[in-house]
Amino acid sequence: MSISRRNIIKLGALATALGLSARGIRAQTTQQSSGKSLRILVLGGTGFIGPHQVRYAVSRGHQVSVFNRGQRQADLPSGVEHLNGDRDVGKLDALKGREWDVCIDNPTSVPFWVRDVGRILKGKIGHYVFVSTISAYADNSQPHANEDSALATYAGKDAMKETRETLKADMGLYGPLKAASEREAARWFPGITTIIRPGLIVGPGDATDRFTYWPVRLARGGEVLAPGDGSDPVQFIDARDLAEWMIRIVEARRFGTYNATGPDYPLSMAAMLHGIRATGSAGARLTWVPTDFLEAQKLSAWSDLPVWIPAQGETAGFASRDNQRALAAGLGFRPLAATANDTLAWFDTLPAPRRSKLLAGLSAEREVEVLAAWHASGKGNR
């Protein structure tokens, strides 16, 4: 199944841990004193990873302020300071005249957001952490590529004039604009910037269902369409593992760039699905359908069949980014069973209308249809 780099960027932007580590150890994330209490500003703070960051930071004795539009509510600890504004229209007054030890920038996708915050916070913070994406890379064809790989290049007229609305109109700009935002971060906060490039972020609270599809589908049981032959690698990270590690990063004042994805050993699509199925799946039976047949059926990797990207051609290295630098900096992963079970438990608390239609993955009707075509082809065995 051929997928262009542009489509990878678009798919990866539609949102934006696994197994035990090879050593059987998960990084320490229990509540404990971390030493110096930091004043932490979280830009965002009410989305997917933000609440996990805030709660973990408070549990470790830090003082936290969150800055956002106030349009989404989150269950944040008492004592967290709420600052309102809108970076897309330049409403940043709540940040003026203030100082923090750390600024964590979660939501930025367009460079002028970094520039405008930089104009206010330059010299007012001691550490700037920018959440980027592995979609910022120019090339996904080489397995095990590290953080020194070339970044995507913005080819438009003026990156500083791109807004949230223009990005929505052309999600192919997502990776190049994230890369441009990284460069802007280095410009305004030289020597004190940390760039985090996550892969697919998963777990309870994921509004995209890109991982959620699999625990939900396997729990339903029956014959399950599984993509490829099971050997394609997969990478992703539980939002809680990412958020908690980022707080430990700022406590240690670690600068530089990190691919934040997991686990710390090669994980195949088959191992992931079998691992999820082992947590309880009502007798789900996996039927592996080759990539070329899925392509003929006009099914799309990542969206129709979430998490999965064929490890061939332009996408041969998309799900095998090198993460050794992050591992050395303490990134750890909770068991796959914990992520799968917690995600399913969270999904079961959602209102029935929301649960009735997953936002990623095949509908039950389409899955039956494709499986029937596969068996009718004479190539598939039940």
pLDDT reported for residue 381: 56
Average pLDDT of the residues in 170-181: 95
In tens, the pLDDT along 203-239 reads 999 999 999 999 999 999 999 999 999 999 999 999 9
**Is the separation of the CB atoms in 18 and 41 below 8 Å?**
no
Q: For 325-376, how does the pLDDT look when each residue is reduced to its tens digit (9 = 90+)?
A: 999 999 999 999 999 999 999 999 999 999 999 999 999 999 999 999 999 9
How many secondary structure helices (H) and strands (E) does the chain include? 13, 11
Give pLDDT, residue 75: 87
Would you say 321 and 261 are in contact if contact means Cβ atoms under 8 Å apart? yes
* pLDDT at 71 (0 to 100): 83
CA distances from 118 to 86, 123, 124, 130, 214 (A): 15, 9, 9, 12, 40
Token pair 């589908």 is found at: 217
Cis, bond preceding 335 (omega within 30 deg of 0): no
Token pair belonging to 102: 């750390």
Separation CA 57–CA 350 (nearest Å):
27
- Considering only CA atoms, which of 236, 360, 228, 230 is closest in space to residue 304? 360
The secondary structure of residue 174, as a DSSP letter, is: H
At residue 225, the 3 state secondary structure works out as strand
What pLDDT sits at residue 15?
Answer: 35
Q: What is the mean pLDDT of residues 192-196?
A: 98
Average pLDDT over residues 46-57: 96
Domain boundaries, the chain: 5-376
Q: Where are the beta strands (DSSP E) in 182-341?
A: 193-198, 200-202, 223-227, 236-238, 256-260, 285-289
| Residue 27 pLDDT | 40
Which listed CATH number (3.60.15.10, 3.30.70.270, 3.30.390.10, 3.40.50.720) goes with 5-376?
3.40.50.720
The pLDDT-based confidence of 249 (bands split at 50, 70, 90) is very high
Least confident of 14-23, 82-91, 240-249: 14-23
pLDDT at residue number 227:
98
Q: What is the pLDDT of residues 103-125, one digit of tens each?
A: 999 999 999 999 999 999 999 99
What local confidence, expressed as pLDDT, does residue 156 receive? 92
- Nearest CA to 258 among 195, 319, 321, 320? 195
Q: What angle do CA 148, 151, 152 make, to 5 degrees?
A: 165
